[in-house]
Amino acid sequence: MPPRLLLFLAVAGAAAVVHGRLLTPDGGGLLAETTDGTVLRLPSEVAAGGGEECEMTYGFLPCTETVGGNLFLVLAYGFLMFKSATYLSAGSELLLAILGPGIVGGLFLPILGALPDAMLILVSGLAGTKEVAQSQVLIGMGLLAGSTVMLLTLLWGSCVVVAKCDLTENSTAIDSRDTKRFSLFGSGVSTDLQTSYAARIMAISVLPFIIVQIPQIFHLHSGHRLTVMLGLISAALLLLAYCLYQIFQPWIQRRRLEYTRLKHVMSGLLRHAQKHSFDRLFNDDGTPNAPVIEKLFHKIDQDNDGRIERGELQAFIIGVNFEDVDLDSNLAVDQVMADFDTSQNSVIEKGEFVNGILRWLEEAKRSGAASGTDSKKFLNDFHERARDEHSVLLDKDDDDGEAIENPTWTCVKAVLLLLLGTGMAAAFADPLVDTVHNFSNATNIPSFFISFIAMPLATNSSEAVSAIIFASRKKQRTLSLTFSEIYGGVTMNNTLCLAVFLALVYARGLTWDFSSEVLVIFLVCMIMGLFTSFRTKFPLWTCLVAFLMYPLSLIVVYVLDFKFGWT
């Protein structure tokens, strides 16, 4: 059954589940046999009969007052917001192929990436009376704080774990070498200097939080509305400055393009090896077939000296059909040599080649291109996906001789994906906020903690999976890209999402009373910002510090709000 049909049935089933509750002895519920033989009762009939009625979003989307029903709806709407973020990401990358990494990568991509979070924050306090908005706006603050804390703690720490390599005596990570396993001081990661610049920008972006907290810091009884306006202006100015920096320094987008080109080379070489019958690359149990990989090595090693030199690799790559893409063989050779030659002796030895192919196969499996042990279908699917990504993520500089095929269709597809993602975010943000609020009422759990933990999983899952896949390559360059995007995501939270939140507070005349939440955001951003701004080497023990800050953040908010009465 197609996945889209399954999704439709799941959403339709949600309506039946949450509306089709069995009638309890006190008359509650929707499904019951009445004296006139009626089995299904509408919400209005329940209300007329004395039962409680929940308010359906838009007048037709399902709602419920039970814990189980609200939990199901949180998962359903959360999944739809996740798909919205996925479509926006795919459309943004397609748009990159049309306008280039400068303006698009610096201006549109960061904004589109933060759009689901911004939309949820906006609707959290947009509807209802002022009192209802003041209550529901806690959900927006929970999402803002939870997203920032999750990126800098759970995701950052996970990337260190999957990307860890052996450390040298001066604590520099050795690419692709991981023999010390989970040594807290003997293994770790390292990044380049530009990544530390992104961390410094992230630390600076907390300035609007400080401005808006001035009345609370100095115990002022007036000026709250003024500081909200000043915080909004400073957040907007920092957002503009960050986008301009991205436009004129598009190094993050260029790194992603380089990785996409390498991925296309990977898929082409693996597919060529399978097609030209070095036997199956996977055994029946799904494990890589090492003897076949060794046969491939000997085929490329034309002089049989036990190592692959640059000329031999280039001759093999020229013979590979990369389908409709004029790939620069010199660039492809450079990328493969850099990826395989871990000893950096300008040749690929047999062990390096086998380990490199095994790593490629494992990455192909993690990409979710296919399932099962049919290696031919598996690699064909992976190749098609990599080819599509490569064809739409090309730098506008034509120095490498590559070109976009069918730019008109690329433009149309990009617009459709962006419209679909934006429409889904706009349509399902309000129902998700309402459901979280109802779930909070049903469980007596503060809505802040629900939104802090659950909602970032819906809006940031796509970026988290991509970051972990990048980091798992165990290369300094790809890890630098991963960390840079994490810091960039936090910067957008501290500028765009905060600006939306402050505009909402100012426009509706809400009370700014989020001292504990702001303190958590400030502490996590400053600790991680200062920690990563002035160093580029991170032993494995640093991930423990990051992981520990997540539960501590929840504890700090709970203690300050419910023990010291900061709310």
Q: What is the pLDDT of residues 233-264, one digit of tens each?
A: 999 999 999 988 887 776 666 666 666 666 66
Under DSSP, is residue 187 helix (H, G, I), strand (E, B) or coil?
Answer: strand
235 and 518 Cβ atoms separated by less than 8 Å? no
Residue with tokens 């320094």: 249
Give the model's pLDDT for residue 36. Answer: 41
Assign 520 a pLDDT band (cuts: 50, 70, 90). very high
More confident residue, 493 or 11: 493
pLDDT, residue 176, reads: 80
pLDDT (average), residues 425-436: 91
pLDDT at 5 over 60: no
pLDDT at 369 over 90: no
| pLDDT reading at 107 higher than 80 | no
With cut-offs at 50, 70 and 90, classify the pLDDT of residue 37.
very low
Q: What is the mean pLDDT of the chain?
A: 79
Are β-strands 537-539 and 187-190 bridged in parallel, bridged antiparallel, or unpaired?
A: antiparallel
At 378 the pLDDT is 54
Of the ranges 123-127, 367-371, 467-471, 541-545, which one carries the lowest mean pLDDT score?
Answer: 367-371
Tokens of 321: 């059909």
Quick: pLDDT tens for 136-190: 899 999 999 999 999 999 999 999 999 999 999 888 898 888 899 899 999 999 9
pLDDT at 442 over 80: yes
Please report how the helices 515-533 and 541-558 are oriented relative to each other, as an axis angle in degrees rounded to 10: 170
pLDDT value of residue 27: 38
Whether the CB-CB separation of 261 and 331 falls below 8 Å is answered with yes
Contact 281, 294 (CB under 8 A): no
Beta bridge partners of 173: 167
Residue that is written with structure tokens 């490629």 in the block: 360
pLDDT of residue 49: 41
What is d(CA 315, CA 292) in angstroms, rounded to the nearest whole number? Answer: 20
The alpha carbons of the chain give a radius of gyration, in whole angstroms, of: 26
Closest CA to 41 of 29, 57, 53: 29
pLDDT given at position 254: 67
d(CA 562, CA 566): 8
Answer whether residue 115 shows pLDDT above 80. yes
Digit-coded pLDDT (tens) for 272-325: 776 665 567 777 676 777 888 888 888 888 888 889 998 888 888 777 655 544
Report percent pLDDT > 90 for the chain.
Answer: 38
118, amino acid identity: A
Looking at 65-79, 193-207, 314-328, 457-471, which range is the least confident one?
314-328
121 pLDDT higher than 60: yes
Q: Which residue has the higher pLDDT, 215 or 278?
A: 215
Helix (H) or strand (E) holding 5: helix 3-19
Instruction: Kindly indicate the confidence band of residue 401, based on its pLDDT and cuts at 50, 70 and 90.
Output: very low
What lies within 8 Å, CB to CB, of 437 at 6+ separation is 135, 136, 139, 447
CA gap 136, 123 in Å, rounded: 9
Q: What average pLDDT does this structure show over 23-39?
A: 38
Q: Two tokens at 254?
A: 């260029």
Pick the more confident residue, 107 or 201. 201
Nearest CA to 112 out of 397, 424, 468 is that of 424
Q: SS3 of 287, please?
A: coil
Please check whether residue 183 is in contact with residue 540, taking contact to mean a CB–CB distance below 8 angstroms: yes
For residues 550 and 153, the answer to whether their CB atoms sit within 8 Å is yes
Q: What's the pLDDT score for residue 47?
A: 40
Q: What is the pLDDT of residue 245?
A: 84
Lowest mean pLDDT among 42-46, 249-253, 350-354, 401-405: 42-46
The distance from CA 169 to its chain's CA centroid, rounded to whole angstroms, is: 34
The pLDDT value given to residue 515: 94
- Class of residue 36 by CB neighbours under 10 A (exposed 0-12, middle 13-18, buried 19+): exposed
